[in-house]
Amino acid sequence: MIRVGLNPYGLSYTVLGWPGGGTARANPKAIGLSGYLDLAEELGARALELPDTMLEPLGDAGLEKLKARLDARGILPVLSQSPPVSAIARSIKLAEKLGARTIRLALTPVLCGARAELGGQWPEIVADVKRMLCEAAPRAAAKGMTLAVENHQDFTSAELMDFCELGGPNVGVTLDTGNPLAVGEDPVAFTRTVAPRVRHVHLKDYRAHWDAEGYRLVRCPTGDGAIPFLELAQVLNEQHAEWTAVLEPGALSARHVKLLTRAWWQGYAPRRAEDLAAGLAAARVNRMREDEDWRTPWEQGSGAEAIVAYELEQIKKSAENVRAWGW
């Protein structure tokens, strides 16, 4: 059984007031936590991802009130923590107050699979992540919680499984269904590799706009792009009787994956030609035309009203598509 719900990151401008990467051109009428909860209930969410930054200002009384509201509506909370992993004590405390058993983790600031942009720092960053994960996992385990590491456009499927083995049985994966394309992997093959350790899922879809350097991953409603969700669900259902998933259209800024350049591959292990071919083929499914405008309203410089309408339209179409699958 799939418990489908909502994630605020595909609604970052509407909910949080910013599109990521800074606060310039912020939305002065962001709906915040209250509006986010209302939207989740309107869409019939059965799971809800909640960033620690949204929860921390509530205090104990506010968290107790929020927990009661979620419990009354049968909505399962998942706590979301951004880097660094060293802030795990705060997240565990918030999760405990909210009754959340899963903490989603993003480990690094890398996007678009672009490890080379960090120069020679990538090995050092990975070493720090491993150290912090080994410190955080026992603390979460003591509270009966799972740490679910996301493939946040930084790590391959094999690397995520290495993290799980290193961290122990309470370390799993938050599978972002669109992000395998950011590291040049086929989403189905990626899912098969990590499926035994998947603890939470981000239902993200993309359409790729190809160019001489690789492709841009352009957000679209879940189910309207390149990702074969029914096939991914079949793989996950073979491993799990129940799992949570949240709708998350991509960022308002397209992700440029320059894997057709030599520099992009710095920091990656050698890869079989067959595996790379499968990843490239997956990014060509339902791709955009070369002459098609790939820019979102944010990238086009549109006003706040147009950007909010765009986000809400995509999240509602995503919910419509998921319902059509019987989820």
Answering whether pTM is above 0.95, one says yes
Do residues 140 and 103 make contact, with C-beta atoms less than 8 angstroms apart?
Answer: yes
Give the pLDDT score at 23: 58
**Does residue 294 have a pLDDT over 80?**
yes
Average pLDDT over residues 191-210: 98
Domain tally for the chain? Answer: 1
Do residues 183 and 153 make contact, with C-beta atoms less than 8 angstroms apart?
Answer: yes
The tally of CA atoms less than 13 A away on the side-chain side of residue 200 is 33
In this prediction, residue 120 has a pLDDT band, given cuts at 50, 70 and 90, of: confident
Give the pLDDT score at 82: 82
Instruction: Report the mean per-residue pLDDT for the chain.
Output: 96
Domain enclosing residue 76, as ranges: 2-324
The tokens of 253 are what? 């800024």
The conformational region for residue 49 under phi > 0 = left, psi -120 to 50 = alpha, else beta, is: beta
* Side chain identity, residue 172: G
**Does residue 21 have a pLDDT over 60?**
no
- Cis peptide before 84, with omega less than 30 degrees from 0? yes
Give the pLDDT score at 87: 86
Instruction: Please report which residue ranges of 111-212 form alpha helices under DSSP H.
Output: 122-141, 157-167, 187-194
* Side chain identity, residue 323: R
In this prediction, residue 84 has a pLDDT band, given cuts at 50, 70 and 90, of: confident
Domain of 130: which CATH number?
A: 3.20.20.150
Give the pLDDT score at 83: 78
Largest CA distance in the chain: 55
Give the residue among 61, 64, 52 at the shortest CA–CA distance from 16: 52
Give the CA distances from residue 218 to residues 199, 201, 310, in Å, rounded to whole numbers and listed in that order. 26, 19, 13
Do residues 246 and 47 make contact, with C-beta atoms less than 8 angstroms apart?
Answer: yes
Do residues 81 and 88 make contact, with C-beta atoms less than 8 angstroms apart?
Answer: yes
**Does residue 127 have a pLDDT over 90?**
yes
Do residues 76 and 124 make contact, with C-beta atoms less than 8 angstroms apart?
Answer: no
Give the pLDDT score at 1: 87
> Who's near 216: CB < 8 A, 6+ residues apart?
208, 209, 254, 255, 256, 257, 294
**Does residue 199 have a pLDDT over 70?**
yes
**Does residue 184 have a pLDDT over 60?**
yes
**Beta bridge partner(s), residue 175:** 201
In this prediction, residue 22 has a pLDDT band, given cuts at 50, 70 and 90, of: low
